[in-house]
Amino acid sequence: MGYIGKTTGLFAFMVIFFVGVGYLLGTFFFGSPIFAMILFLGIAGAMNLITYFYSHKIILKTYKAEIIEEEDNPRLFNIVKEVAYEADISMPKVAIVPMDQPNAFATGRNEETAVVATTRGILKSLNDEELKGVISHEIGHIKDRDMLVMSVAATLAGAITILARLVWFQMFFGRRRMNPILLVVMVLAPIGALIIKMAISRKREFMADEQGAKISKNPNALADALEKLHKENKRNPIKKKNPTTASLFIVNPFKKSTFVKLFSSHPPMEERVKRLREMATDFSYL
């Protein structure tokens, strides 16, 4: 299924899911589901419009990413410019995330709105060839047109998780006891995880790694970078952001808790590195 089909599927799922929640709320709390279903249909429609047009901006704001120009960081800007030229795509915008954890991601609705974002930490951790490999991986996502699916899935899954937490909060501190709606809430977070796993397969990361190796013509540099990033993020994970955004990053930036594992869409690092090392011995990809 292409990125258009996946994005449409996500939006359709969101409509069905919210209308279903509206039906349950209307049935158990208001005696009539019609008003609640219409209300939640409107909420789903609004969320779909917002996520389609603004999901990349929401993600950039979530991580306080700042769009830069060449004079702000010539090293990063010129590497992105070089890789975009070699990949034969339009120059994406470049952003820096003020985090010490070394990582990177691509976001945007299409090639015209694409943004390649790196953390402040990655600029300190990687040499130029390794950084070029990482940027090539992210440019690979842009070429494959899957960053919209990534951004939309992360935003929608995050919204579902927030909804689940709000209802849990009300049930815990309110006067209401166990009822059927609570049973529905109990599966909201796993459904959010399922959205990401259905929309963003692990194959996507393998494909972006392969694209990155072909664009940079240096699979070993990308493999070295992944090993460094995996080690550093495991040692110093992100603690105060929503794990539903983990799939955006080139490596999982969150601690391997049970909740985070639900949202994991990254293949094992050992397998990614192995494939890249094998590419380094096969020059047919050049």
Q: Are 142 and 261 in the same domain? A: yes
Task: Report strand pairing: 93-97 vs 66-68.
Answer: antiparallel
pLDDT for res 262: 54
Q: Are 22 and 156 in the same domain? A: yes
pLDDT for res 263: 54
pLDDT for res 159: 72
Edge-to-edge, what's the strand order for the sheet holding 66-68?
66-68, 93-97, 115-119, 104-107
Q: Are 164 and 126 in the same domain? A: no
Active site residue 271: no
Q: Which domain holds residue 70?
A: 64-146+201-285
| Number of structural domains the chain divides into | 2
Mean pLDDT by 10 residues, the chain (286 residues): 66 78 73 80 82 84 95 98 96 96 92 94 97 97 79 71 66 57 59 60 85 95 97 90 78 72 72 94 66
**Could you give the CA distance from residue 51 to residue 34 in angstroms, rounded to a whole number?**
26
Q: Are 120 and 205 in the same domain? A: yes
pLDDT for res 269: 93
- CATH code at position 89: 3.30.2010.10
Q: Are 79 and 120 in the same domain? A: yes
**Could you give the CA distance from residue 156 to residue 98 in angstroms, rounded to a whole number?**
24
Residue that has been written with the tokens 């110093």 in this structure = 236
DSSP symbols for 82-103: HHHHHHT-PPPEEEEE--SS--
Q: Are 163 and 265 in the same domain? A: no
Task: Write down the catalytic residue from 69, 86, 112, 138.
Answer: 138
For the CA atoms of 273, 278, 280, 282, the dihedral, rounded to the nearest 10 degrees, stands at: -160
Last residue of a domain, one of 166, 181, 199: 199
pTM score over 0.85: no
Q: Are 112 and 138 in the same domain? A: yes
Q: Are 138 and 235 in the same domain? A: yes
pLDDT for res 181: 58
Q: Are 211 and 265 in the same domain? A: yes
Last residue of a domain, one of 131, 166, 199: 199
**Could you give the CA distance from residue 258 to residue 98 in angstroms, rounded to a whole number?**
27
31, containing H or E segment: none
Q: Are 126 and 11 in the same domain? A: no
**Could you give the CA distance from residue 167 to residue 270 in angstroms, rounded to a whole number?**
39
3-class SS string, 243-254? HHHHHHECCCCE
Q: Are 240 and 122 in the same domain? A: yes
Q: Are 102 and 25 in the same domain? A: no
Last residue of a domain, one of 134, 166, 199: 199
pLDDT for res 200: 62
**Could you give the CA distance from residue 227 to residue 220 in angstroms, rounded to a whole number?**
11
- Rounded to the nearest 5 degrees, what angle is found at the Cα of 33, between the Cα atoms of 10 and 152? 15
Q: Cα(first)–Cα(last) distance of the chain, in Å?
A: 28
